[in-house]
Amino acid sequence: MADALTTTTAHTDLEVAAATNLRHHFATPQQQFDSAMLGMWTFLITEVLFFGGMFTSYVVYRSIYPEAFASTSQYMNVALGGTNTAVLICSSLSMAMAVRSAQLSKYRAVVISLILTMIFGTTFLVIKYFEYHDKWVEGLVPGLKFDVAHYHAPQWAHQAQILFFLYFAMTGMHALHMIVGLGLLTYLLVMAVRRRFNSAYYTPVEMIGLYWHFVDIVWIFLFPLLYLIGDRG
């Protein structure tokens, strides 16, 4: 608090409050920050349990139809999925760098890090689009276009659709979170260009950073479960 404000011209309580965006119902900027932190984590826990429900159904159905789920492995593009994993890891690094730069009042570095994060996030979604497109062409979209006749393991064609349903539900919900994240990053970028974040106040960068890392963690589990385990031949 104190050393951050020596770089600004804040001297009175009102000026301190203005420099740290302190709302009147908080006693100190630290208390306000800790409250935001706890609230964000509470939200992320509900997100963990939201995705956890889908992971649980994945575990249940995989244990009931192991052969059918394994038969879907050859339709998963490990190269694209692996690339996307690397892309998301890079986006997490640039996001962490954005938070760090904001903590140190490095205005240009915040903007550059946020732009990099958005580029990585967009790259992920573009690759995901091509994967979805392949699934559609190959007739692997349950309910809309599932080509039972041409499924390589006809005896599992019906149960395998459960996995493809879970694939689209889980990666689709993940992609939706990415899109929301890109929207939040756009907001951060606008604010960062206006130099609204510095060592005295960077809460939004930290909170949206937590969200972005959480979405990365979801993909860290989706990638091995959907792409890697099963019958790789």
Summarize as ranges the residues that interact with other proteins (CB under 8 A). 1-4, 20, 29-30, 33-34, 37-38, 41-42, 44-45, 48-49, 52-53, 55-56, 59-60, 63-64, 78, 82, 85-86, 89-90, 92-93, 95-97, 100, 103-104, 199-200, 209-210, 213-214, 216-217, 220-221, 223-225, 228-229, 232
Q: SS3 for 104?
A: coil
Can you read off the two tokens belonging to residue 178?
């990415």
Task: Give me the least distance between CB of 127 and other proteins, in Å please.
Answer: 15
CB of residue 97 to other proteins, shortest distance in Å: 6
Min dist. Cβ of residue 146 to other proteins (A): 25
Closest CA to 177 of 204, 216, 128, 203: 216
Judged by beta carbon, residue 176 or residue 220, the one nearer other proteins is 220
- Residue 50 or 136: the one with the smaller Cβ distance to other proteins is 50
For 10, the 3-state DSSP assignment is coil
**How many CB atoms within 10 Å of residue 147?**
12
Q: Are 33 and 27 in contact (CB under 8 A)?
A: no
Burial classification of residue 187, based on how many CB atoms lie within 10 Å of its CB (0-12 exposed, 13-18 middle, 19 or more buried): exposed
Q: Which is nearer to other proteins, 36 or 139 (CB)?
A: 36
Q: Which residues, 6+ apart, have CB-to-CB distance to 127 below 8 Å?
A: 80, 83, 84, 87
Token pair for 81: 């999925």
Residue 60 CB, nearest approach to other proteins (Å): 5
**Cβ distance to other proteins smaller for residue 29 or 204:** 29
Q: How far is the CB of 224 from other proteins (least distance, A)?
A: 4
